[in-house]
Amino acid sequence: MDENLKAALRQAERVLGNKPEWLGFRKVREVSTTRYVRDGHPQANHSSVSEGVMVEVLENGQFGYAATTRTDFESLVMAAQKARSHALQGSRYPIHRFTVAQRPAVQGAFESDFGKSIPSAGELNELLVEICRKLDRPGPSTPPSTSKEPRPKIIRRSALFETIDTEAQFVSSNGSDARQNTRQVVGWFQATAQAGDVVQKRSDERCGQGGWERFNTPDLWNRVERVAEEALELTQAEDCPSEKLDLILMPDQMMLQIHESIGHPLELDRILGDERNYAGWSFVKKEDFGSFVYGSPFMNVTFDPGVAGELASYAFDDNGTVSTREYLIKNGILVRALGGGESQARSGLPGVANSRACSWNRPPIDRMANLNLEPGTDSLADIIASVDRGVLMKTNRSWSIDDFRNKFQFGCEYAKLIENGKLTRTLKNANYRGITAPFWRSLKKVGDPSTVEIFGATNCGKGEPNQSIRVGHSSPVCLFENVEVFGGAS
Amino acid sequence: MKPSLVPAVSRDYFEDLSKKAIGALGPNEYLFLVLDVECSQFVRFNKGVRQTGVIDDASVEVTLVLESSPGVLKRASREISLSGISYQDREAIREAVGILRVEVPGLPQDPFAELPKDPGSSTTVKTGNLLPTESVPANILDAVGDNVDLAGIYAAGPVIRGMANSAGLIHWFSSEFFSFDYSLYTSAQRAVKGIYGGSEWNDDDFRRSISSALQKLKLLERQPRKIGRGSYRTFLEPAAVGALIEMFSWGAIGESSIRQGESPLRWLRGGEKKLSPRFSLAEDFSRGQTPRFNQLGELAPERLILIDKGELAHSLVSSRSSKEYGVSGNAAEMNEALRAPSVAPGTLEQGECLGRLGTGLHVSNLHYLNWSDQSGGRITGMTRYACFWIENGKIVAPIENMRFDDSIFQLFGSNLEELTRACEFLPESGTYDKRSVGGVRVPGMLVSGMQFTL
């Protein structure tokens, strides 16, 4: 533990004179690296070290904050004075009289698995260059079915690897003294293929807490080969049909579906209107918890920051609340909100430990962490076999949803037509649209544990001032009935 | 007591840090330094004050370029936090250069890297007259009144962008400004959006902004109308046009996105498609709200026409694209995104908009736009805030939010009937990582058809 931060806190308490209702320091040091190669050439070899302290004061039932890059005693004391001044000004116009209960005392430490060590910058560049080289596959040697069509080729190859190492320490006047150290990694590659006027992309992304093994899986080179081949294949594919069909979503698209149409609408600060000037409100109302039929009985959703290796695992949130696994939706019924201590106090609803800030320079707000759809009992083969006519879609490429989180439209990179229980033709420009609750109520089958995969969103945006944060989502394969699917511009 | 980050990180301070770092370079080493500083006050409102505080943040990105053999360049960058305390910042930069010095030799050659140049330094300093920090909640909430449901964010304070390189170049841009990005609500959760921003806070101007929004809010009390799917004549207010223009930054107007096949504007270059002769788009730095220099210190033209009467006149070309594709650069940022977009006005007078629309939709804002088919030029998104059904030039009812899915070749092409004579400057109020500067200058737009799908 950094004793200096605790000593600075004690010094600030003394200087502030009249003891504030609560004082807390959250120090964060985030070291990140980005290695990005396109078409065999390095585009970015970037690292960053962001370090500072968020000082928060509770005074007159109002929190005020002051964040600074200066970590010496004098500067932290000055920041505490500023934070107190802002708390006092704001307390004339309160939306709620907060208490120290919203900053529970917490002690302890959490460290994520750092996994296998990350290769050096030079070695990483070599590997990313090699991925680009292997993505550069020739098109099929036999001409496409109609020989007048141009031969497809790969026109762009990209590969990226990122690490984010975060050390956070939280100390407070009511005895908090906690530290969390995590390593998050993101690996991604993409091939763009062209045949005449048709341009299609295919990509692969892996992310999570851990080390090199998260990206460098035993099947890495098979994944690279598949991405290139499927990009080429898409240039020859027909457009997704426009009709209402059964829809199978693979986990790398379910991730986005969960994020946008479960995660965001269940954020309690959205339900309370904090976000309505920016990210938006929610169709969910406070009175819905405990009774609202969100989805079919196959739908079970958990908030679980305890899943090892998932992107947003932690032991306590940025306000000091100890995290626990909780059901948000059980057998289709909405039971609990994604709301931290402040939102719980304002709403009187049960919530979770999800007060999170993107870094030292932003105050915590209600965020997703790991938000997971629990597996069911059907194998992928059984799910496909159960569909007479439908579409299977993989890997998000387009996303849009309204400010109440109702009307969504999502697009996928790669799709397959399903006819008589079998995957048949490849489809390009596959999109679908729907309205959140009716869509989840059309959930017909949920894949068994063998179909579960863990993904995440690495740039979830929200908040004023804006904050981009990383969240995890695990999901099995799912089947939805009677969904409006459609194709591309042409 | 130490001075705060601003003025501690002054132009002289940055120049001194840069010179010391550059003075320690070895042979065949070159350096770029890019500075970001802000001392920002943020007050977030949700009826009352939801969150309030200040953030003092400063960082410098150091890029080391090594000419490992004649003409062979390798490069890497490292961004570090600054404290505004001289000895600490000098040491932090020295350490960062040391780390890069170890890393760079092991990297592959970067054939599109640039060496520093000195085409001339620049200094822009804009001072402001902001609300006193302590009076912000009172000034805003008292003006709005007790009976109005308000949400929003007030952001204010100085923002600095700086750039220096080992060729001796130094650019400095310092601007003190505020923005209050807000929305007002009816009891049925219908809302009007407003933004009041600038460098001089004026209570009368602010009250006029609120008063205008309140007038609009009254119209939202009417019973809303549910509109079915289909194509409708639509008038888009400047904020909605601005949202569509933003999409040009997202893999469309950049040279690399055209060359790499993802941009729908490749169809303009090839001559297969055209946009409307009424539509012209430029990068226009003449108002001075955005730095003209980029990360390399290159100065963009004060005005660069990108789309001229429906035809692609220029793309945004970074130095990397310039080298890679053998075309002239125009000092675009590395991401080749718009920094000072300006859409040419038309001839439609403000008072004639609804009359010319006749029957259709009046859309104030669009929300959550994304390409639904990027290379095909199709965009999807939602209507948001004060959108109305219009019949015979008269407002009939607010509409329930609708999803659109349409092509830029329709919206800015064959379906574009007219643009308004008046343009609005919409300040950029984004605060991801840091407070944004600048904004977009756009007119309103009348289209003969816009496809609504859900």
Using alpha carbons, list the distances in angstroms from residue A69 to A82, A440, B38, B95: 15, 45, 11, 17
Tell me the pLDDT band of A19, cut-offs 50, 70 and 90. confident
Choose among A349, A274, A353: nearest CA to A104.
A353
**Are B52 and A201 an interchain contact pair (Cβ–Cβ within 8 Å)?**
no
Cα–Cα dist B293/B297, whole Å: 5
Chain B interface includes A153 (CB < 8 A): no
Angle at A85 between CA A80 and CA A87, to 5 degrees: 95
Whether residue B53 and residue A66 make contact (CB cut-off 8 A), yes or no, is yes
pLDDT-derived band at A143, boundaries 50, 70, 90: low
Using CB atoms, pick whichever of B183, B373, B381 lies closest to residue A277.
Answer: B183
Q: Do B368 and A89 touch (CB under 8 A)?
A: no
Task: Test A120 with B376 for CB contact under 8 angstroms.
Answer: no
B454·A435 Cβ contact <8 A: yes
pLDDT in tens, A315-326: 999 999 999 999
CB-CB under 8 Å, B137 with A90: yes
pLDDT mean over B399-403? 96
Q: Which residues of A touch B431 (CB under 8 A)?
A: 464-466
- Looking at residues B109-125, what average pLDDT do you find? 96
- Mean confidence (pLDDT) of chain B: 97
Reply yes or no on whether the pLDDT at A1 is more than 60.
Answer: no
Mode of pairing for the β-strands spanning B365-373 and B378-384 = antiparallel
Mean pLDDT value across residues A68-86: 96
- pLDDT, one tens digit per residue, over A200-237 is 999 999 999 999 999 999 999 999 999 999 999 999 99
pLDDT at A146: 54
ipTM: 0.96
Q: Which chain A residues touch B182 with a CB distance below 8 Å? A: 277
Could you identify the residue written with the tokens 């879609």?
A: A393
Q: Which ranges of B326-448 does DSSP label H, i.e. alpha helix? A: 353-357, 408-409
Other beta carbons less than 10 A from residue B259's beta carbon: 18
Would the CB atoms of B56 and A69 count as touching at under 8 Å? yes
Query: What domains can be seen in chain A, in order of their start residue?
Result: 3-30+48-106 (3.30.2290.10), 111-237 (no CATH), 243-486 (no CATH)
pLDDT-derived band of residue A105, with 50, 70 and 90 as boundaries?
Answer: very high
Question: Which residue is listed with tokens 């008038």?
Answer: B235
CA–CA distances in Å: residue A366 to residues A11, A265, B293, B332 = 31, 11, 37, 37
Burial degree of A232 (CB within 10 A; 0-12, 13-18, 19+) = buried
The answer to whether A426 touches A408, Cβ cutoff 8 Å, is no
B-chain residues near A403 (CB < 8 A):
367-368, 382, 384, 401
Q: Taking residues A254-272, report their average pLDDT.
A: 98
Q: Cβ of A348 under 8 Å from any chain B Cβ?
A: no
Q: How confident is the model at residue B171 (pLDDT cuts 50, 70, 90)?
A: very high
Compute the distance between CA of residue B108 and CA of residue A171 in angstroms, rounded to an integer: 44
Interface contact A247, partner B, CB < 8 A: no
The pLDDT value given to residue A145: 54
- Burial code (b: 16+ CB inside 10 Å, e: under 16) for A385-422 equals ebbeebbbbbbbbbbbbbbbbbbbbbbbbbbbbbeeee
Per the CB < 8 Å rule, is A86 touching B52?
Answer: yes
Burial class (CB in 10 A: 0-12, 13-18, 19+), A450: exposed
Of the partner residues B260, B371, B401, the one whose CB lies closest to the CB of residue A156? B260
Q: Does pLDDT of B2 surpass 80?
A: no
Chain A residues with CB inside 8 Å of B108's CB? 41-42, 125-126, 129
Do the chains contact at A407 and B382, CB–CB below 8 Å?
yes
Give the tens place of pLDDT for each residue, A277-300: 999 999 999 999 999 999 999 999
Kind of pairing between the strands at B230-236 and B48-69: unpaired
- Is A407 in CB contact (< 8 Å) with chain B? yes
- The answer, yes or no, to whether residue A139 has pLDDT greater than 90, is no
